[in-house]
Structure 1
Amino acid sequence: MRLRSLLAMADLGPLELVTGEDELERFVRWVVTTDMLDPSRYLSGGELVLSGLQWRLEPADSESFVSALARAKVAGLAAGDALFGEPPADLLDACRRHRVPLFRVPEHIAFATVTEQVNRKLSTGRAADLSAILDQHRRLVSGDGLGSVLELVERNLGMPCWVVSSTGRVLAGPAQPPPPELCAAFLGARRLPHTHTVEGTRYSLFAVDADGTSRVADWCLVFAGDYKDWPEERRALVGELAAVVSLEHARQDDRQSAEGRLAQDLIELIVSDAKPAEIVSRLELTGLALSERYLAVAATTDSGAVRPRELRALLREILHGRSPAAGVVDGEAIVLVPRGDDAALTDRIHRAVEALEPGLQGSRLSVGISGAVDGEGLRGAVEEARYARRMAAERPNPTNVVRHDELATHMMLLASVPDEVRRMFRVRLIDPLSSYDKDNRADLVRTLETFLELSGSWARCSEMLHVHVNTLRYRIQRIEELTGRDLSRLEDRVDFFLALALR
C-alpha cells in the first residue's frame, strides 16, 4: 500500500498528515513501533514507524531520531499525541529537512489499532498482487506472452522493463524500445546485474538465467533506473520476474517439439551416409519443399563456454523469421535456411556474430555459410558450410564467418567427398608421415606441405624450410618410401594435395 492510503482508512479516524505531502506515493512494506533514539539497526526500508516520542529528552534528539529513519529509508513516521499533545516543532523541522513524511496519531487511537488496520490492508494488497501474478502466469502459459507480465510490473511499480535477446531483438516491453547499445553493455559486463547510462538515463541489466545459460544465448531484462537505489523487495521481484521469463525462454526451445525433432533427424540424415531418397522423404516431413532453394550454416565454438544446444538456439535467433531447420551433430550446430536475399542474409549473420564477441568470454565462434542449393543438393551444401566453418576456425579473430565463395574451387569439389574417402586418403598418405614425425621428431608433413605450395621448387622450398637442398631431397625420398608414391608424378602430387586439404 502507499502512504496516501493512511488518509483514506476510515477505521483509523482522523489521522493527520503534518508534513510530507510530496512523498505520499511511497510504498509501506510493514509497521514498526519503537521508542529507541536510533532504531536503524532494526529497520530495512519501507516501514511505517509508530513512535510515542519517549526518546525525546531534548530538542536535538529529534535530529538524531529522524536522521536515523532517513538513513534506513523508512516510508514515514506516525507520532502519537499522548506525551506532547502534538508533534514538537523540532521534530517537524527534522522531518522536513530529511523528507520523512510525518503523521499525527490522536491520543485516543491506540498504536495496536493502527498496526492491525495497516497490516490488514497490506495483506489484502499482497493477496491481490498474488492473484494478479497467478493470472499473469496463466495468461503466459496460455500464450498471451510476456507483454502482459511486463505491463503489470510497470503499472504497479512504475518500472518500465524490456526483455531483449543477446542479438538485440526486443522480445517484449513498452512500445518505445530501449537504446540498442544496452545489448553490447549486457554482453560485455564483467558482472551482472550491471548499470549503464545512455544520454543521462540510467538502466539496469539482469540476466534471465545467469547460472544455467551462457551469456550469448541468454535473454536480458532491461529496467529503467538504477537497481542499487531499489528497496530489497523490488530486487527480489526481479528474481521472480526472471523466473517467469525463463519459462518463456525454455518454451521457445523447439528441440522437444515434433518440428524440432524432425529437423534434428533431417540434419543427422544429411551428415550420415543416408540415401538421397531418405533425405527427400524426411525433408517433406519437416515441412520443407524439395523445389525450394536453401543455404546451410554451420557453427562451433572452441571451448565449452557455449554449449552446442545453445549455439543451435543462437543460430535460430540470428535467423529469426527465416524458419530455419536446426540440428546438432558432433558438437557442431547446423541449420538449413530457405533462400531469400543471400547477400542480406550473409550480412545479417556477419553483424550478429561480430556483435556477440563481448559475450564469448574468450571463446572463438566460427561460422560457415554455403551457397544456395535445392532439396537434392542439401548434403553438398552442408559439407560446404562445414568446410567453410573449418576455414573460419583457422583464422585468428574471436569471431569469423566464411562464405562459400571464399572457398577454393577444389574445396567446393571436396564438399561432396564421402567420409570413407577422406579416411582412406588420411590413412594411406598422411598417417604414415605423422607417425614418423612423432617417433623421430621429424618434419615430413610440413616439408610436404611447403614443397607442394611452392610447386616442387627445390631451391625455394629448402630456403623456406631453412635446410640444405640435400636435406630436403632426403626428406622427400623418405616421404615417397613411406607412402609408395612418387612426387615427381603430377597424379601423386594431386593426391597428396587433396589428402592434406581433407584432414
Structure 2
Amino acid sequence: MLSDWLLAVEADASDWPAARLDLLQGVTQLIAVERDRRDAARTVRRRLAQEVLELVQAGAAPAEIAARLRVAAPVLLPGLGVAPQWQVVVARVDWSASGQAAAGEIASGPVAQALLEEILVDPAVSGPDSADRIAVAHTGEEAIALVPLPAVITAPAEPGEGEEDPAAGADGKDADALAGEPGLHADALLASVREPLSAGLADDGRLTLGVSAAVHSAEGLRGALEEARHARRVAAARPGRVCAAGHHELASHVLLLPFVPDDVRRAFTARLLDPLRDYDRRHRAELIETLEAFLDCDGSWTRCAARLHLHVNTLRYRVGRIEQLTGRDLSRLEDKLDFFLALRMS
C-alpha cells in the first residue's frame, strides 16, 4: 500500500466501553466526510489537468491552452488575481516481476497519479488546503502534474545612462539578488519522499520523477512537459527505488545531442532568455544586446562598454540585472556557456 487514508489508534479497542467506541465511530465518520470532500475536489482538479494535457499534446493553439489555464488558475490558487507561473512534474511507476504479479490488472499510470497527489504538497503552505493546489492527470504509464506558482514580481526599471544602481556593489550585483528559482526542486522533493516510498515499494517496483522549470505562459507549457519527461528519463537511468531529476540537470551541452527533443531545447532557451526579453520589452533596457556584446567581448568590461557606448558603471548595472533576472553568474564558465548556447539556439 503506497497511498491511502488510515486511522491508527495506539490501544487495544477490544476492551473499550461502548461510549468510547461510539466516540471512535464519530471521529471515523468525520474523517470519512472530509475524505469525500477532498475526493470531490480532486476529481475536479484531475479533469482540469486532463483537459490541459490533451490540448498540449494535441498541439492546440497557445490561446486555447491559455483559456483553459485561466479556468484552472482560480481553482488551484483562489484569490491570486494575476496569472500564475506553471511547473510540470512527470512521474512513472515501473513494476518489477514480483510487483507486476501483485499489482495484477492495476495500471501504473493511476498509481503514479495518486502518488503525485499525495507527495506534491507545498511545504510553504500550512493547513489542509495545501494539497488542493495540485492538478494531476495521467496518460498511459505516466502521471503529469500541473503545479501553479504565484507570479514573481518584476524588478524595477534600469537607471539612466551612466547612473550606477545604488544597491549594486563593485561587482554590479544587487545586494538581494535571487537566491534560487521558485517552485519545486527535484532534490528537495526526493529527500522528502525517498525513504517512505522506497519502503512502500520494497522489491515491487520503482518510482521516477522529472521536474521542469517554471514557465510564464501557455506557449512554454509544451516545452515544460517535454523537459520534465526528459528529466524523468535521466532519473530512470540512476539506481534506486525512488529517483528524481530536475531541469537544471539537463546541462547545456546535453541539449546538442540529436535525441533531445526540440521542445526541450526551446524550453531551455526560453527559461534563460524570456525574463530578459520581457524586461527589455517593458523597459527598453537592451539586456539581450548587452549580453551578446559581453560574451562577444570575452567578458571584458572596457571593450564591451566601448562597443555599446556605455559608461562602465552602467554596463556593470546591466550585467547585474541580467544575473538577477536569470539567477546566473556571468563570471562562471558554465553560465557563460549556457547563455552562449541559448542565444545561438534562439
Q: TM-score, normalised by structure 1?
A: 0.35
Q: Which structure is higher in strand share?
A: 1
